[in-house]
Amino acid sequence: AESAQTAEAQGDKIAGGTCSFSPDTKVLMGNGSDKRIDQIQVGDTVESGNPRTGKQQGSHTVQHVWINHDHDLVDVTVRTKDGHTATLHTTANHPFRDDTTHTWVPAGKLHRGDALNTASNGHVHIIAVRTTPGAAYRWNLTVQQLHTYYVLAGATPVLVHNCNTTVGRWMSEDEYQAMSDTGKVQAGSGGTSTYVAHPANSDAYRKQAAPGSIYAEFDVPCSCLKPAGEPGWAQIPGPQHPIYAKLNAKRGLPPPEMPSFENLRIVDRK
């Protein structure tokens, strides 16, 4: 059985790692001010950019704040418009809007000279990307609708994505309806874990699924997925999870919350 120590040693990671920033990273708020990411609360508004064009597109509401214990730490150093340098402390898989390629690129795959989008629809340019040893707590936000926000490199806001991923699950009609009604992933038996196929795959657990089950796919934040012990599977810990609830308590955090989702759709039936 997995222990709390094992879970923490693994960095609470799913395949590919989580996507987050150091607690002192400042975020551009909806009113034009900035706030440390570890002080942002659900319901706050942050400035967002269009995920397809990278252009600023107004403010949107923070739907969830995630705290992860990460090992895949990366420092991204940029040169700002005023000629100064600034470093963002992030994780290897956090997507940045790279206007050199007009795509979202994980921090660990950015290169010197790449141009990152800013809130003024300008650019900062990368001068270095370095992995850093050890582990640390990192923060991420789920932002409604556009799923993007700006982190400050010095005084310059740089566009990043809150990084959703698609998962799948065989479920009952009742569970599907409850998800539709609440907008939340439903907690597993006893409030422990909800297991999902990641990457989404309707063949996962098909044989064990009860007759009349629905296979649905939906998008959730990468940060809510934890290891499930087998390739192709992940778990979303509930408030009564025997390991992650204890880890959160140890860190002075509330119990795990079931995340909101997007794009719920029925893909298959049994």
| 244 or 154, higher pLDDT | 154
Q: What is the pLDDT of residue 14?
A: 35
Q: What is the pLDDT of residue 2?
A: 43
The answer, yes or no, to whether residue 167 has pLDDT greater than 70, is yes
- Kindly report the average pLDDT of the chain as a whole number: 88
Q: What is the pLDDT of residue 18?
A: 65
Q: What is the mean pLDDT of residues 163-188?
A: 93
Q: What is the pLDDT of residue 252?
A: 74
Q: What is the pLDDT of residue 3?
A: 41
pLDDT in tens, 79-90: 988 889 999 999
Percent over 90 (pLDDT), the chain: 57
pLDDT in tens, 125-162: 999 999 999 989 899 998 888 889 999 999 999 999 98
Model confidence band, residue 8 (pLDDT cutoffs 50, 70, 90): very low
pLDDT in tens, 16-67: 346 789 999 999 999 999 999 999 998 899 999 988 899 999 999 998 788 8
Q: What is the pLDDT of residue 35?
A: 98
The answer, yes or no, to whether residue 268 has pLDDT greater than 90, is yes
Q: Is 96 helix (H, G, I), strand (E, B) or coil?
A: strand
- Three-state helix/strand/coil letters over 137-160: EEEEEEECCCCEEEEEECCEEEEE
The answer, yes or no, to whether residue 7 has pLDDT greater than 50, is no
Whether residue 199 has a cis bond before it, omega within 30° of 0: yes
Q: Which residues pair with 269 in a beta bridge?
A: 214
Contacts of 191 (CB under 8 A, 6+ apart): 238, 239, 240, 241
Show the domains of the chain with their CATH numbers. 20-162 (2.170.16.10), 165-269 (3.20.170)
